[in-house]
Amino acid sequence: MAKKSVWSDNRFWRRSATWVTGFASILLIWLTFDTSAQIAMGNDKDLKEGITKRVPGPTVINYKITYEMSNKRGHEVPIIGGNDGKGNSLFQQKEKFFGRDDYSEKEAKALLHLGKLGSQAKNCMDCHTLLGNGAYYAPDLTKAWLDPAWGPNGAMQALTGKNTKEEAMAEFLQHPDQYPTHARMMPDLGITAKEAKGLVAFLKHMSSIDTNGFPRNFGKIKGAVHGK
Amino acid sequence: MASNYLTGVGGESKQLATWYFTFAAILFGAQLLFGLVAATQYVMPGFLYGVLDFSIARILHINALVVWMVFAMFGSVYWLLPDETGIETVGIKIGKLLFWIFAAAIVVVVLVFLFIQVGKADATTIWFITEGREYIEAPRWADWGIVVVALGFVGNLFLTGMKGKQTGIVTVLMADMIAFAGLYLAGMFFTDNISVDQYWWWWVIHLWVEATWEVFVGAIAAYGLIKMIGAHRQVVEMWLWIEVAMLFGSGILGLGHHYFWIGTPEYWWEIGALFSALEPLPLVAMFVHVLYDWGKTQGSEEEKGNTRSVINNKPAFTWFVLNAFGNFLGAGIWGFFHTLPQVNLYTHGTQFTSAHGHLAFFGAYATILIGMFYIAIQGKNGIKVMKNTRASIWATSMITGGMMGMTVALTIAGYVQVIVSRAQMGATWSGYFDGQSGMWFTQAMDWRLIMGLVIFTGFIILAKDLLTTGKNPVHER
Read off the pLDDT of residues B381-429 as tens digits, 9 standing for 90 and up. 999 999 999 999 999 999 999 999 999 999 999 999 999 999 988 899 9
How much is the average pLDDT of B93-104? 96
For A138, the domain range is 103-207
Query: Exposure string (b/e) for A36-69, b if CB count within 10 Å is 16 or more?
Result: eebbebbbbebbeeeebbbbbbbbbbbbbbbbeb
Q: Which residue has the higher pLDDT, B285 or B192?
A: B192
pLDDT band at residue A38 under the 50/70/90 scheme: very high
How much is the average pLDDT of A120-131? 98
Whether chain A has a CB inside 8 Å of the CB on B131: the answer is yes
Count up the domains in chain A and report the number. 1
pLDDT recorded at residue A221: 67
Whether chain A has a CB inside 8 Å of the CB on B242: the answer is yes
Whether A139 is in a domain gets the answer: yes
Average pLDDT, chain B: 95
**Nearest by CB: B192 against A113, A187, A219:** A113
- Domain of A191: which CATH number? 1.10.760.10
pLDDT recorded at residue A32: 98
How much is the average pLDDT of B313-336? 96
Whether A187 is in a domain gets the answer: yes
pLDDT recorded at residue B8: 84
- ipTM above 0.85? yes
Using a CB-CB distance cutoff of 8 angstroms, which residues of chain B are in contact with residue A21? 244-245, 248-249, 252
Whether chain A has a CB inside 8 Å of the CB on B270: the answer is no
Whether A53 is in a domain gets the answer: no
Kindly tell me the burial class for residue B295, based on how many C-beta atoms sit within 10 Å of its own C-beta (0-12, 13-18, 19 or more). Answer: exposed
Per-residue pLDDT of B11-45, as tens digits, reads 999 999 999 999 999 999 999 999 999 999 999 99
Whether A67 is in a domain gets the answer: no
Using a CB-CB distance cutoff of 8 angstroms, which residues of chain A are in contact with residue B180? none
CA distance B115 to B59: 13
Whether A192 is in a domain gets the answer: yes
Chain A and chain B share a number of CB contacts under 8 A equal to 265
What global pTM score does this model have? Answer: 0.96
Whether the predicted pLDDT of A93 surpasses 60 = yes
Using a CB-CB distance cutoff of 8 angstroms, which residues of chain A are in contact with residue B192? 41, 58, 109, 112-113, 116
Give B1-190's CATH code, choosing from 1.25.40.10, 3.40.50.1000, 2.60.410.10, 1.20.210.10: 1.20.210.10
Average pLDDT, chain A: 94
Cβ separation A39–B253 shorter than 8 A: no
Contact A201, B247 (CB under 8 A): no
Whether chain A has a CB inside 8 Å of the CB on B182: the answer is no
Whether the predicted pLDDT of B114 surpasses 80 = yes
Nearest-CA residue of chain A relative to B121?
A: A118
Whether A225 is in a domain gets the answer: no
Contact A69, A86 (CB under 8 A): no
pLDDT recorded at residue B246: 96
Using a CB-CB distance cutoff of 8 angstroms, which residues of chain A are in contact with residue B238? 8-10, 13
> How many degrees, rounded to 5, is the angle at CA B106 between CA B103 and CA B112?
145
**Nearest by CB: B428 against A113, A147, A198:** A147
pLDDT band at residue B136 under the 50/70/90 scheme: very high
Cβ separation A216–B346 shorter than 8 A: yes
Whether A148 is in a domain gets the answer: yes
What are the boundaries of each domain within chain B?
Answer: 1-190
Whether chain A has a CB inside 8 Å of the CB on B43: the answer is no
Whether the predicted pLDDT of B179 surpasses 60 = yes
Nearest-CA residue of chain A relative to B61?
A: A126
pLDDT recorded at residue A2: 60
pLDDT recorded at residue A227: 40
